Amino acid sequence: MASPKPRPAGLKLVEGRAPGRDSGGRLVKPVPSFRRLPPEPPEWLPEEARAEWERVVPELARLELLKPVDRSALAAYCLCWDRLVQAQREMAQDGSVLSTNSQGRVRHPAVAVIEAASKELRAWAGEFGLTPSAEARVGRQEADDGDEANPFAGSG
C-alpha cells in the first residue's frame, strides 16, 4: 500500500498544539517562497491541451497555486486531457466494440486509452487541487490577518 501524500504545512499548523508546531509538537518547516506567477504554455501544445491550459490556469493563478517551474507538470496534465478527448472522439465515431470474433467482442483500443488517461488525469488533477477532494488538500497559506480571522487561534 502506498504511503499517504505529505500534508501541506498549513494543515499541519492548523492541527498543531502550539504556534509553528504540528499535532505531535514537531516544528513545521515553512514552505518555500516561490514566485507565484503562472507559467507560459508550451508553443507545441495541441489544440485540446491548449484549451484546457487556458481553462485552468487563470483560476490556479488567481489562487496563487502556480509558479513558472510548474510548466512541465501542467503540460503533462493538459496532454493527458488531450489524449482522453482524442480517444473519446475516436471511440464515439467507431463505437466501443469493433467486432465480434470466436472469443467474444473486441473492444475499441481507444477504451484502454480512455481508461489509462482518466487515471492519469485524476492524479495530475489532484496535484493542482482540481478535484473536489483534492481541493481541500492543496492551497497556499493565506496571510495572517490576526487572530480574529483564524478560527483555530486560541483565546490565550
In this predicted structure, which of 57-61, 102-106, 140-144 has the lowest mean pLDDT?
Answer: 140-144
Q: How far apart are CA 18 and CA 13, in angstroms?
A: 8
pLDDT of residue 70: 92
100 DSSP β-pair partners = 105
Number of domains in the chain: 1
In the predicted model, is pLDDT for residue 53 greater than 90?
A: yes
Percentage of residues in the chain with pLDDT exceeding 70? 74
Domain assignment present for 63? yes
In the predicted model, is pLDDT for residue 154 greater than 60?
A: no
Parent domain of 59:
43-139
Domain assignment present for 55? yes
At residue 124, φ and ψ (nearest 5 deg) are: -65, -40
Domain assignment present for 17? no
Domain assignment present for 147? no
Domain assignment present for 91? yes
Q: What is the pTM of this model?
A: 0.67
Strands (E), the chain: 97-101, 104-107
- Among 8-12, 13-17, 22-26, 49-53, top mean pLDDT goes to 49-53
Q: How far apart are CA 117 and CA 123, in angstroms?
A: 10
Domain assignment present for 69? yes
